């Protein structure tokens, strides 16, 4: 079955540690996205990628980094520079960047202790 | 730039209707609608690409008023399965248009 997988579902880290969240899709989509979701704030875009080896900052990129070395994979690293990293992180993909449905993964809930 | 959704929350009885609005301060290319159930990923409902466009499936439909820079989602004869948080996502004209900006969501609770 085609879809998007994110792992792990729950993640706990100590303050000051970097952590990488995995996102893999087998939908053959060109575009991929990372969103952060906090209660009452909806979905906020962290980074997005239109094609392999290319990505752009979203609205809240500070303290995060990404890579897009393969079409299927778009990992997100939450660095120690992110002031308030505890949140629900959602990865999504679409056929291309414009006017297309985004398919979301199940999300990773990150808690920094 | 974040679109404003209203109401923030609504409680319905099964069979009642609801309207969720999404307004932008800037001109829009398109409006997307998604529904998210608690603890799950958002699920796509529909995209409206043209001013005046209306779409729907089952008893959920939407309209896009380009001049007013707003979209409305209509839920008719609501069912328990309609419960969740509804988000609009907007692509704006001018600047970087190749990304969605989501509203803060409308929580819909349908009771028996």
Residues with Cβ < 8 Å from A53, sequence gap 6 or more?
A: A68, A69
Report the distance separating Cα A100 and Cα A113, nearest Å. 37
Report the distance separating Cα A58 and Cα A41, nearest Å. 15
**pLDDT attached to residue B57:** 74
Q: pLDDT, tens digit, for every residue of B43-52?
A: 999 999 877 6
**pLDDT attached to residue B93:** 62
Residue B99 touches chain A, beta carbons under 8 Å: yes
The answer to whether B65 touches B73, Cβ cutoff 8 Å, is no
Over the Cα atoms of chain A, what is R_g? 13
Sign of CA dihedral B74, B80, B81, B87: positive
Residue A42 touches chain B, beta carbons under 8 Å: yes
Report the distance separating Cα A87 and Cα A113, nearest Å. 12
Percent of residues, chain A, with pLDDT higher than 70: 97
Quick one: residue B84, left, alpha or beta (phi over 0 = left, psi -120 to 50 = alpha)? left
Backbone angles phi, psi at B81, to 5 degrees: -70, -10
Q: Extract the residue ranges of chain A whose pLDDT is less than 50.
A: none
**pLDDT attached to residue B11:** 97
Q: pLDDT, tens digit, for every residue of B55-112?
A: 777 789 999 988 888 999 999 999 999 999 999 998 876 555 567 889 999 999 999 9
Q: Which of A44, A56, A101 is closest, CB to CB, to B44?
A: A101
- Residues of B with CB below 8 A from A90's CB? 41-42
A93 - beta bridge partners? A32, A103
Q: pLDDT, tens digit, for every residue of B28-41?
A: 888 999 999 988 89
């Amino acid at each position: 079955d085609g879809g998007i997988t994110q792992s792990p579902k729950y993640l706990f880290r100590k303050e000051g540690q970097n952590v990488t969240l995995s996102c893999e899709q087998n939908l053959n989509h060109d575009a991929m996205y990372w969103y952060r979701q906090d209660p009452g704030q909806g979905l906020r875009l962290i980074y997005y990628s239109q094609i392999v080896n290319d990505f752009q900052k979203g609205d809240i990129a500070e303290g995060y980094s990404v890579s897009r070395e393969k079409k299927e994979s778009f990992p997100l690293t939450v660095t120690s520079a992110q002031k308030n990293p505890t949140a629900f992180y959602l990865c999504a993909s679409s056929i291309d960047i414009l006017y297309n449905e985004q398919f979301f993964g199940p999300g990773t809930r990150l808690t920094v202790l | 730039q974040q679109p404003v959704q209203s109401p923030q929350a609504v409680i319905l009885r099964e069979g009642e209707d609801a309207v969720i609005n999404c307004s932008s301060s800037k001109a829009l290319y398109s409006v997307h609608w998604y529904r998210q159930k608690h603890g799950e990923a958002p699920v796509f409902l529909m995209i409206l690409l043209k001013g005046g466009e209306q779409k729907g499936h089952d008893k959920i439909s939407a309209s896009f008023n380009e001049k007013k820079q707003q979209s409305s989602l209509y839920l008719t004869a609501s069912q328990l399965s309609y419960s969740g948080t509804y988000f609009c996502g907007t692509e704006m004209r001018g600047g970087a248009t190749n990304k969605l900006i989501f509203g803060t969501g409308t929580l819909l609770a349908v009771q028996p």
